[in-house]
């Protein structure tokens, strides 16, 4: 059985490409509200679960000890674009714990943000680990290690106390057992665990509601989510979906993407969590699907929709700027999500 087509890419009147995938929508009590495709498949959530991986930073007291505000906490949940605000905040986090960029074990890559990347090229500078989109998450790990008095060195390894704690938080939030059998290595060198899609959706419903979490965990979850709502540009960056959606819809949706076609979202007022996996790993498709979920559950106003329209149906342009196609949800996807129906 293959997952259904969720997103179509058109050129003129024809469909040029198709993206298949699965979507789980689960409420805070764990009840399925919609299930499209195989929602029991285990997927690597990649960066979509950074907020869950940041729970120890708050719960341990490290965030308080180092005086972190919303910007630092949001950056710990971020896949940022390597803009100056991101790089400076990551540096500040490390310095607060008496550490430096050299302590980061995430590796380096060019900033996603074009202007920031161009600035490095013009300066003849290679990117540093601070530019890595995961540097805020890693700075958080370093701070947790320093606060706990354990060696920072090797903090990315599965057996390091920090990763044990991070994995325990992830296992608890998703209600799963996360062992070596479902483990890979993420692009930033920390362990990646494959988790059933419906368990991920449930975790996000719990994250944004606090439902069935310990008081400490519920408080930490609320602080992480509030930080991302307060500093949406810290979570991704200029022009990116996660930042724009949280800026546009205020506290009505927490949204976070991951590599290889993953997206997760939580709707605090509705008590719903959503998890998306596009089978082929395409980010262009998972962005459309999560936008369809937002359309389905938030029912944006006309004004909000004007701003958000290009997120739900993304135009395809020629190099000369003419619109010649679009990336769009398949017909009926928004309604199917809203009504909890399957799609054909």
Q: What mask, x for binding a copy of itself by CB under 8 A, covers residues 239 to 268? A: ---------------------xx-------
Write phi, then psi, for 248 (nearest 5 degrees): -75, -45
Shortest distance, CB of residue 38 to a copy of itself, whole angstroms?
12
Query: H or E segment at 305?
Result: helix 302-312
Residue 186 or residue 242: which is nearer to a copy of itself going by CB?
A: 186
Q: How many residues bind a copy of itself (CB under 8 A)?
A: 50
Residue 44 or residue 267: which is nearer to a copy of itself going by CB?
A: 44
CB-based contacts of 192, cutoff 8 Å, min separation 6: 44, 45, 46, 183, 184, 185, 186
Write phi, then psi, for 262 (nearest 5 degrees): -105, 140
**Residue 332, CA distances (Å) to 5, 12, 184 in order:** 11, 21, 35
Q: What mask, x for binding a copy of itself by CB under 8 A, covers residues 277 to 306? A: -xxxxx--x---------------------
Nearest one of 77, 72, 49, 52 to 62, comparing CA atoms:
72
Contact 48, 262 (CB under 8 A): yes
12 binds a copy of itself (CB under 8 A): yes
118 binds a copy of itself (CB under 8 A): yes
Residue 44 or residue 297: which is nearer to a copy of itself going by CB?
A: 44
100 binds a copy of itself (CB under 8 A): no
Strands 32-36 and 14-27: antiparallel
Which of these segments, 90-98, 106-114, 165-173, 206-214, binds a copy of itself (CB under 8 A)?
A: 106-114
Q: What mask, x for binding a copy of itself by CB under 8 A, covers residues 183 to 212? A: xxxxxxx--x-x------------------
179 binds a copy of itself (CB under 8 A): no
CA–CA dist 198, 41 (Å, integer): 8
**Residue 128, CA distances (Å) to 76, 101, 143, 162 in order:** 17, 8, 19, 23
105 binds a copy of itself (CB under 8 A): yes
Chain contacts with a copy of itself (rule: CB under 8 A): 2, 9, 11-14, 16-20, 42-44, 105-109, 118, 121-122, 124, 132, 181-189, 192, 194, 260-261, 278-282, 285, 318-322, 324-325
């Amino acid at each position: 059985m293959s997952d259904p087509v969720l997103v179509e890419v058109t050129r003129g009147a024809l469909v040029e490409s198709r993206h298949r995938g699965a979507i789980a929508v689960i409420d805070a009590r764990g009840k399925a509200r919609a299930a499209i495709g195989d929602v029991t498949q285990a997927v690597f959530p990649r960066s979509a679960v950074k907020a869950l991986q940041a729970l120890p930073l708050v719960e341990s007291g490290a965030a308080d000890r180092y005086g972190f505000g919303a910007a630092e906490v949001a950056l710990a949940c971020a896949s940022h674009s390597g803009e100056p605000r991101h790089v400076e905040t990551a540096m500040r986090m490390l310095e607060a714990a008496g550490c430096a960029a050299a302590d980061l074990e995430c590796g380096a890559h060019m900033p996603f943000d074009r202007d920031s990347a161009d600035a490095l090229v013009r300066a003849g500078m290679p990117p540093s680990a601070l530019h890595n989109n995961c540097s805020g998450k890693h700075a958080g790990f370093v701070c947790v290690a320093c606060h706990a008095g354990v060696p920072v060195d090797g903090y990315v390894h599965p057996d390091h106390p920090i990763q044990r704690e991070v994995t325990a938080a992830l296992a608890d939030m998703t209600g799963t057992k996360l062992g070596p059998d479902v483990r890979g290595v993420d692009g930033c060198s920390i362990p990646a665990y494959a988790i059933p899609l419906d368990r991920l959706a449930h975790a996000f419903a719990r994250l944004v509601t606090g439902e069935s979490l310990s008081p400490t965990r519920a408080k930490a979850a609320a602080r992480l989510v509030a930080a991302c709502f307060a500093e949406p540009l810290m979570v991704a960056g200029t022009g990116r979906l996660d930042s724009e959606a949280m800026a546009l819809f205020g506290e009505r949706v927490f949204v976070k993407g991951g590599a290889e076609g993953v997206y997760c979202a939580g709707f605090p007022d509705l008590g719903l969590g959503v998890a998306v996996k596009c089978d082929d790993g395409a980010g262009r498709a998972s962005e459309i699907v999560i936008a369809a979920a937002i359309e389905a559950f938030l029912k944006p106003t006309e004004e909000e929709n004007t701003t958000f329209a290009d997120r739900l149906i993304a135009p395809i342009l020629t190099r000369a700027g003419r619109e010649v196609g679009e990336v769009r949800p398949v017909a009926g996807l928004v309604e199917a999500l809203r009504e909890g129906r399957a799609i054909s």
